[in-house]
Amino acid sequence: MFKTVLLRREDGNFDAQLTELDDVMLPDGDVLVGVHYSTLNYKDALAITDRSPVVRTWPMVPGVDGAGVVLESHHPDFVPGDLVVFNGWGVGEVHWGCLAQKARLMGDWLVKLPQGFTPRQAMAVGTAGYTAMLCVLALERHGIRPDGGSVLVTGATGGVGSIAVMLLARLGYQVAALTGKADAGAYLQILGAREVLEREEFAHGGKPLQQERWAAVIDTAGSHTLANACAQVRYGGAVAACGLAQGMDLPATVAPFILRGVALYGIDSVYAPLARRSEAWQRLARDLDIAGLENIVTEIGLGDSLAKAHDILEGRHRGRFVVDVNR
């Protein structure tokens, strides 16, 4: 038996609850993982509150992130006792996830936990930090360097934004942090932001080309925020887009791309190939201030995730929820 958050939809009625299930209920997979820690991400919050059609197979265990130990393996790359980290691949949507004490997953989805990370620390990073690192890697491949000018991070108090600010500052970049939280200035400066900007100035339609301000942008918002950010990037700069907190639309023009040579990189964290995943996790182990993660982490128990999901969607939380699935 194992404890889990279980989502059900029957006869049009939705239910989310903490329950216990027998191991035989676990879905197919070639690696059985004893989950130590998971996280509560924006996508998990949407699923738990039934605010968006995230779940496509019922019943469902949410939890797009997990870290723990291999209990059983039929995959050649893993043996019992291996510490692993997991995120993506439609887990929490079409395959049972990691807001549970056990998860049966495909070995091709797993990454061995890099040295220097504990399972809890890996989940303090989670999909948010992994996505932030993918954004940084994209900017580096484009040629963005710390001496090239300021980098704007939108949605800077969220999970991705917070870790993006930390990573960029640790790597020597000058970071400007965009937030809608009036009291977040001190928090963002602790993470490494040199400048804190008010979200409102980006939240509505603007000119197709605006004053050149940023060498690059990491955007978690989409919509008008992304459009305005693109319009402010310097000639030859780059934007890494990884979120849609403001909206899925992009009310922009081609002007920044054809007149300033700005590049727009789409960052996919769900189906990124193993080589890129491994590179991101190795870089996180090397470049992230592990101790500094505690500035952005709130630890909760498995059952707490049902209520805390609402806090995420209502903007009442900053940083990361780490879930100890064994309490």
CATH code: domain of residue 69: 3.90.180.10
Residue 312 lies in a domain: yes
Find out whether 71 and 32 touch, Cβ atoms under 8 Å: yes
* Per-residue pLDDT tens digits of the chain, which is 327 residues long: 999 999 999 888 999 999 999 999 999 999 999 999 999 988 899 999 998 889 999 999 999 999 999 999 999 999 999 999 999 899 999 999 999 999 999 999 999 999 888 999 999 999 989 999 999 999 999 999 999 999 999 999 988 999 999 999 999 999 999 998 888 899 999 999 999 999 999 999 999 999 999 999 999 999 999 999 999 999 999 999 999 989 999 999 999 999 999 999 999 999 999 999 999 999 999 999 888 888 788 999 999 999 999 988 887 777 789 999 998
Is 24 in the same domain as 46? yes
- Cα angle: 43, vertex 47, 49; to 5 degrees: 115
CA torsion angle 132 134 135 138 (round to 10): 160
Is there a domain that residue 276 lies in?
Answer: no
Question: Who contacts 234 (Cβ-Cβ below 8 Å, separation ≥6)?
Answer: 149, 212, 213, 214, 215, 260
Shared-domain flag, residues 258 and 152? yes
Are 133 and 250 contained in the same domain? yes
Q: Are residues 216 and 145 in the same domain?
A: yes
CA 83/CA 31 separation, integer angstroms: 12
Provide the pLDDT for residue 292. Answer: 82
Strand partners, 33: 70, 103
In this structure, the answer to whether residues 198 and 312 fall within a common structural domain is: no
Tokens of 62: 């949410």
Give the per-residue pLDDT at 97: 96
Does residue 133 share a domain with residue 101? Answer: no
The answer to whether position 54 is within a domain reads: yes
The per-residue pLDDT for 11 is 86
| Tally of structural domains, the chain | 2
Say which CATH number the domain at 221 has.
3.40.50.720
Query: Is position 285 within any domain?
Result: no
Residues whose CB falls within 8 Å of the CB of residue 294, separated by 6 or more in sequence, listed in order = 124
Nearest to 227 by CA among 248, 180, 195: 248
Cross-strand pairs, 240: 218, 265
C-alpha to C-alpha distances, 176 to 149, 160, 204, 217, 244, nearest whole angstrom? 10, 15, 19, 9, 19
pTM, two decimal places: 0.89
> Residue 219 belongs to what domain range?
128-266
Question: Are 255 and 146 found together in one domain?
Answer: yes
Q: Could you tell me if 136 and 256 lie in one domain?
A: yes
